[in-house]
Chain A
Amino acid sequence: MSIDTSKVADSNTTTPASAKAPSKAGAVATWADDRLGLGTSMKKQLRKVFPDHWSFMLGEIALWSFVVLLLSGVFLTLWFDPSMAEAEYQGSYDPLRGVEMSKAMISTVELSFDVRGGLLMRQMHHWAAHLFIASMLIHMMRVYFTGAYRKPRELNWVIGCLLILLGSLEGFTGYSLPDDLLSGTGVRAADGFLKATPVVGSYMSFFLFGGEFPGDAIIPRLYIIHVLLIPGLLLGLIAAHMLLLVYHKHTQWPGPGRTEENVVGYPMLPVYAAKAGGFFFIVFGTVALLGGLLSINPVWKFGPYDPTKVTAGSQPDWYMGWPDGLLRIIPGWESVIGGFTISWNVMLPILIVPPLMLVILIALPFIESWITKDDREHHLLERPRNRPTQTAVMVSLMTFYGLAWAAGGNDIIAIKLHLSINQITYFMRVMIFLGPLIAFIITRRWCISLQRHDEQTLLHGYETGIIMRSPEGGYSERHLPISNDAAFRITARDRDEVYAVGSKVDDNGVAAPGGKLDGLRAKLSTLMYADNVQKPTAAELEEAHHHAEHEHELTAALDGRVADGHQFDGHHAVEGETLRGDH
């Protein structure tokens, strides 16, 4: 398909650009290129095209939050002392003065009360962590809902899933460091999780804590994991994620002039660099405002960790909330087999379901491509409605996550909504199974209905809201055709193909022998695609338009003479009014 680019301007300037004597920037570039030879690769990258859409910037929130985390984290390490040696707090916050606590806690309170801006930085670091993980999740949802994980981007999907896992672990190790009452309670629960591991549980606990819980090793160990190991992995994976993004070029929404072979948008330099750079400042600024205005993890109120103390509303940070919710709603299943204890009530919600969720998430693109056997590259995004089953799968997973997440806050929900935690728990025990199922069915049907609506609009035009009365007295609503661009956007998608066993025929016209799983593949393919509404063929569209034109002719005599309603809204002159869409 050839795109007429002659109408597209290249520059805002009215004088054509021409080679001139090298500018200052050019001189610097020349100096650098003499030594680094970057010219070859940069000649393309500097004007690399990025398409513009708000949903493409969600991952950017994660990237910039990560930068804020690195900056604020470095500041915090200058004062934080990751030691569990006990000492008496003698700092500025008097209600804790004289209390024995670990040096980690002392340095955290001192950082909050005796270092100017220290409390702000602590809070910014914590808020940025929340935003980092939250934005990774919404970015992941966007990628899934629009089909941006398809070939050639499957590996980037896998990297993204690992980033979510690592980000959550990084968050857990981070909020455990201050050694305050709340984080200590979380670490104690983690000790319980380790101990529930079959066979090696108590050994793992003793190894991690350097002896009996809590020991004096856990904070320094979590610290080095938090500031070196996981950030290193995160940096590496983020770099790989970005390089693959640059190599594959960004996906784009279908639209006039956009094809699978091109990418239409703004050049990296200057527009995209400015927008991305500006967004960095906005993310940074938002984090600073949150840090300055909203309290997060006020450790001085919790006091130091003490295994005999606990507070109502003991929750992990939100991203650990959903396994915690599962932990709350599971019945007390524990079995002793051959003298050995198996704690299903801990293993299922912590050691089995969350890793399983991650595996499912990582596997989604591969399951889909196994069903479709589609090995084309896909660079045009799909609207969620045009992939009803996939959209429904993600909504179903989100429902599961959301219900488990809400269960993790069941005590707060109970006091704020005046409910009983017992009733909430019973409700969740049922809904954790029913909810995702209901969500799947509703979402899938909803998407298909939207597809039908699209088809209606395409074939019969949009509803004008104008009611016509025929000479016989019948009423009908007038439909007018949508613009060509809008119609193109509706049709710019693939036709789905349902796979049937034996449909593949080899060169000699003999049905190819199916694999063992072909039956399953055919069933899944039917589930995925059979109910979808396919776009009309050119002939069908032609016929529908012909029909519409005929109707239009019948009512054309009325044009300009009927009220379209706007005459009476007080904003329009009555004279000269025409029906909407006629100009």
Chain B
Amino acid sequence: MSDLNKHDGSGPGDSDDRVDRTPAVPEEPIANPGLHPHTWRPTDVDEKASRRAERQVATLFGLSAVCTVAFVISYFTLDIGTNWTTFGGLGASTLFLGVFLGLALMLIGIGIIQWARKLMADQEIVEMRHPARSSDADREATVAALTIGIEESGIGKHKLVRRSLLLSVGFLGLPAVVMLRDLGPLPKDVANAAEGTGLQHTLWGVKPGVRVVRDVVGTPIRASDLQIGDLVNAVPEGLFDLHGTELQAAKAKGAVIVVKLAPDEIKSQQGDQWDVGGVLCYSKICSHVGCPISLYERTTHHVLCPCHQSTFDLADSAKVVFGPAGRPLPQLALDVDDEGFLVAQHDFLEPVGPSYWERER
């Protein structure tokens, strides 16, 4: 269209690379017909229609006010806490506050838009555009000012000043990074086998023969009490002596699942005789990104991660049979103590949970 001829060659340097279009453009097949004459709405020409629209809008605004009042009444009359008022099986407070607030706002919105659509002047008006660039004169003046400023500073001439300034300002990035150092300790700072802290250690290694106890209730598990097909979500004994951060960190690494298979169903294990009569124990923390994993199928001995569907075969060293995990779940070597309760022989022989760069080191 017409701006094809208005090519003003903005920006030095790029103009000679541009395809020259002007001669190639054939004439436009259909000329712009121009704006249509304005036509009126019923509300513009009919006083009755206009008054009707006015009443509509006013009704909408009025109903909104009613809803707001209903909102305030709901706020004070509907109980929450231990004894919620209910309505149709739903919490009445949330429901009515939401619905009345929603309607109050919505009715104002619909009213305003109805007002705009029916009653406000609705002629389309035309505004001219201007190119985003500034005028040539302004641009030249700016570039000139910039050039003078740079020249007067001498930054082009004094190379040493320029380079040392760049260097020093560049160096200022360092504090921004260095200052973050104390956000947390380094992994090696917290590594302590005796306390089960750090990426490589868990509570299972703090002493020989840590009992396997049920999660939540903390009771020890007698191997002989388990049936084939059982799944026990378990944690190391002593976990519940911890609190707060230590408890959570220990749980995040120490959680295990204990399953009982018929001994002849076990195809392989990660260590020799790490089971107790078919009772196997594997880390509950997925080797992919660390979700706890306990979707166990007793028929296939597969365990599935609910986060990304990695599937491990517990009858076969917890090998990955499906999904994104790259490594088997680490196995915990089991034994029984004098009282017949399940205990760990020793800590996991590899870090549990997601992989990290120096994991194999």
Contact = CB atoms under 8 A, between A and B. Distances in A.
A308 B35 CA distance: 69
A575 interface: no
A145 interface: no
A49 to B, nearest CB: 4
A213 interface: yes
Taking residues whose C-beta sits less than 8 angstroms from the other chain, chain A's interface range is 35 or more
Contact of A307 (B1, B82, B107, B251): B251
A331 B310 CA distance: 9
B303 to A, nearest CB: 12
A195 B112 contact: no
B326 interface: yes
A138 to B, nearest CB: 20
Interface stretch (A29-37, A281-289, A441-449, A464-472): A281-289
Interface string A242-274: 000001110000001111111111110011001
A328 B20 CA distance: 51
A86 B291 CA distance: 22
Nearest to B93: A116
A192 B289 contact: yes
Interface stretch (B140-148, B154-162, B341-349, B352-360): B352-360
A288 B32 contact: no
B324 interface: yes
Given A212-B197, A263-B127, A332-B310, A293 B95 contact: yes
Interface stretch (B184-192, B205-213, B258-266, B329-337): B184-192
Contact of A308 (B7, B249, B251, B295): B251
Contact of A485 (B33, B285, B307): B33
Contacts of A267: 125
Interface in B105-153: 105-113, 115-116, 120-129, 131-133
Interface stretch (B36-44, B165-173, B219-227, B270-278): B36-44
A373 interface: yes
B94 interface: yes
Contacts of B233: 308
Contacts of A115: 80
Contacts, number: 427
B3 A377 contact: yes
A48 interface: yes
B180 A334 contact: no
Given A257-B34, A288-B105, A538-B29, A271 B121 contact: yes
A492 B28 CA distance: 9
A157 interface: no
Contact of B186 (A203, A375, A497): A203
B241 interface: no
Nearest to A263: B127
A327 B309 CA distance: 10
Contacts of A48: 127
14 contacts: A5-B35, A7-B35, A9-B38, A113-B81, A192-B353, A192-B354, A202-B356, A202-B357, A203-B187, A214-B249, A270-B120, A310-B293, A488-B30, A541-B30
Interface of A: 1, 3-5, 7-13, 47-49, 84-86, 92, 94, 113-117, 119-120, 123-124, 152, 185, 188-189, 191-193, 195-203, 205-217, 247-249, 256-267, 270-271, 274-275, 277-293, 306-314, 324, 327-334, 336, 339-343, 345-346, 373, 375-377, 379-380, 410-411, 421-422, 425, 458, 484-485, 487-488, 491-492, 495, 497, 499, 503-504, 506, 512, 535-538, 540-541
Given A327-B289, A332-B327, 10 more contacts: A117-B93, A200-B357, A210-B183, A212-B252, A215-B245, A271-B120, A291-B98, A309-B292, A332-B288, A506-B16
